[in-house]
Amino acid sequence: MFARLILLFLTAVALADAQPATFSTTVRGFIKVDAPVVALTNVRVIDGTGAAARENQTLVLRGGTIAEMGDAARVKAPEGATVIDLAGKSVMPGLVMVHEHLYYPTGPGVYGQLGESFVRLYLAGGVTTMRTGGNVNGFMDLKLKQLIEAGQQPGPAIDATAPYLNGPNSFLQMRDMKDADEARRHVAYWADMGATSFKAYMQISRAQLGAAVKEAHKRGLKVTGHLCSVTYAEAADLGIDNLEHGFLASTDFVSDKQPDTCPGQGGGQRTIAALDEHGAPFAALVKKLVDKKVALTSTLTVFETFTPGRPMPPGLVVLLPQLKQQYEQNYQRTAQSQSSVYTTLFPKALALERAFARAGGVLIAGTDPTGGGGVIPGYANQRQLELLVEAGFTPLEAIRIGTLNGATYLGRQARVGSIAAGKQADLVVVDGDPSKTIADVRKVDTVFKQGVGFDPAKLIAAVSGKVGLW
C-alpha cells in the first residue's frame, strides 16, 4: 500500500511539472517530437553524475518524465510508443547553466535586450535550465520565464535574477543603492515581483551585501556576486551563496585593498595572475569557501574572448552583420595585444578552478555573454564544457559541472540535472560520444524539455543573422 502511495505521489509531481497541454503556433514550429510515449532506443547514456557512460540503453519517456530506462535487451518500447533509434548517438542531461544573460553588448557601455532570440539559442545549444546571472532590464527575464512556462515561447526553464544589487556606480543600466536598508527593500520588492535569485555587483558595500543576503535567505532565495569592493572571504562570512567568474573577480590578495572600496578589476586580476594555487593564502581562501559552502561559477568563455591567441568563438554567424563585424574587430585587437594580462591570467583561472574543485569546492558553470561580445548563447555553453576539460577535468566531470552541479545549486536536483527513472525528461541527444570527446557536445541532434523534443536547427535558423534585433 505504501509503495502505491509513493507511486501516486511521484505521478502527481510529474503531472505538476509537465509541459503545457498546448503550445503556441510559434513554439509548435520548433517541435519535432511530441507524443504521449516516446522510446529512445540503442542509445549511449551519460547520466550527469560522473559515472561511466552506459551503452545500448533504452529510455521510455511518458508524461514529461523518464518512466523507465535500462539495457535495450531488457527494456522494450511500449506498444504504441513513438520509437526513435539512436544508435551511434548519446543522450545526456539538459545543461543547467547558472551565469547566463538575456542581454548582449551592442555599443559602448550599453546592453541590448535580446531575450526572445537568446532563449531560442540557449535551448538549441542544449540548455534546458538556466539562471539569468544579472538583469539590466527589470521585467523581461520574469516575463519570458512566465511565457516559456505557459508554452507561449520556446526556451529553457529560467531561474530569474532581479536587477543588480550595487552601490554608487557608472553603469547606465544599473541602480545606485545608498545604504543597507535600500538593499533590503530592493530584495523584498523584486522577490515579490517573482525574482528567484539575486546578484550583487562590484561597488556594493559589506553592509548592503549583508542586508541583501539576510532578506533573500529569509525568503528562501539565494544571492550570488561579481564582487570587487567586498572580498570573497568577507562575502563568505556574510553568508553569500555563490561567487561568479571563478577567482578572477577576487580582490582578497590586493595588498592595499581598502574596506568597501573596489581597487579596480585590473588590480585584482594582476594579483590573481601571480597567485600560487599551491600556496597557503589561496588554500586558506579555498578552505573558507568550502567550509561556508559557497559555490563558485566558472565563466571561462567570456575570459577566453579577452585572451590573445585563443580560437575565434563559435556561433558568430547568428549575429546581426554589424555586431558580428564589431566583435571580429575586437578579436583582431585582442590578437595583436603584446601586453595583455590575460596571457597569464587565463591559464591561471583554469588552474585555480581545478584546485578549488579538487579541494572539495562546488564548481558550477555559465558563459556570461557580455564583455566585448563573442559569447553566443548555446554555442558558448558547449564551449564552456570544452574549456573545463582544457582546465584538467575529465569530460564526464565537465558534464557533471554543467548539469547536476548546477541543478543541485538551484535546488532542482530531484527533477533535473541527471538521467534516472522518475526524473524530468530534460535530455540532449548528440551525435558521437562526449564522454570521450567533449567536442561532440556541439553536435546537438534533439533537445528534449520535459519529454518534448525540439529541433535545434530550426531554433537557430529562426534567428540566424538577426541576433541583435530582439
Can you spell out the DSSP letters for 264-279? -HHHHHHHHHT--TTS
Nearest to 228 by CA among 261, 183, 272, 273: 261
Co-location of 245 and 368 in the same domain: yes
What pLDDT score was predicted for residue 241?
A: 98
217 domain-assigned: yes
Coil vs helix vs strand at 453: strand
C-alpha cell at 173: 543600466
Co-location of 369 and 434 in the same domain: no
Co-location of 88 and 103 in the same domain: no
Distance separating alpha carbons of residues 77 and 265, to the nearest angstrom: 56
What pLDDT score was predicted for residue 296?
A: 98
* Residue 169 contacts residue 147 (beta carbons within 8 Å): no
Co-location of 48 and 86 in the same domain: yes
Co-location of 244 and 141 in the same domain: yes
Residue 56 forms beta bridges with which residues?
none
Co-location of 68 and 104 in the same domain: no
Co-location of 422 and 367 in the same domain: no
CATH number at residue 286: 3.20.20.140
Co-location of 58 and 109 in the same domain: no
Co-location of 99 and 80 in the same domain: no
Q: Which amino acid does the sequence have at 240?
A: I
Element (H, E) at 408: helix 404-410
Last residue of a domain, one of 393, 410, 427: 410
466 domain-assigned: no
| Residues 426/431/434/440 CA torsion (nearest 10 deg) | -110
Q: Report the relative pairing of strands 95-100 and 127-132 from DSSP bridges.
A: parallel
C-alpha cell at 343: 596571457
What pLDDT score was predicted for residue 1?
A: 42
What pLDDT score was predicted for residue 19?
A: 53
Nearest to 10 by CA among 53, 87, 64: 64
Residues 6 or more apart whose CB falls under 8 angstroms from that of 454 comprise 30, 31, 32, 123, 124, 154, 446, 447, 448
47: containing domain: 2-93+418-461
What pLDDT score was predicted for residue 21?
A: 58
Distance separating alpha carbons of residues 127 and 370, to the nearest angstrom: 18
Please give the distance of CA 105 from its chain centroid, rounded to a whole number: 18
CATH number at residue 9: 2.30.40.10
Co-location of 100 and 85 in the same domain: no
Co-location of 232 and 170 in the same domain: yes
318 domain-assigned: yes
What pLDDT score was predicted for residue 268?
A: 85
What pLDDT score was predicted for residue 20?
A: 57
Co-location of 64 and 176 in the same domain: no
468 domain-assigned: no
Three-point CA angle 440, 246, 242, nearest 5°: 105
Coil vs helix vs strand at 467: strand
Distance separating alpha carbons of residues 240 and 234, to the nearest angstrom: 9
141 domain-assigned: yes
Q: H-type helices in 101-168, by residue range?
A: 115-124, 140-149
467 domain-assigned: no
470 domain-assigned: no
What pLDDT score was predicted for residue 15?
A: 43
What pLDDT score was predicted for residue 12?
A: 45
Query: Chunked in runs of 10, what are the mean pLDDT values of the chain (470 residues)?
Result: 40 46 92 98 98 98 98 96 98 98 90 96 98 93 97 98 96 92 98 98 98 98 98 98 98 96 85 95 98 98 98 98 96 94 97 98 98 97 98 98 98 98 98 98 98 98 97
What pLDDT score was predicted for residue 4?
A: 40
Nearest to 155 by CA among 190, 177, 188, 127: 127
13 domain-assigned: yes
Last residue of a domain, one of 383, 410, 437: 410
State how many domains the chain has. 2
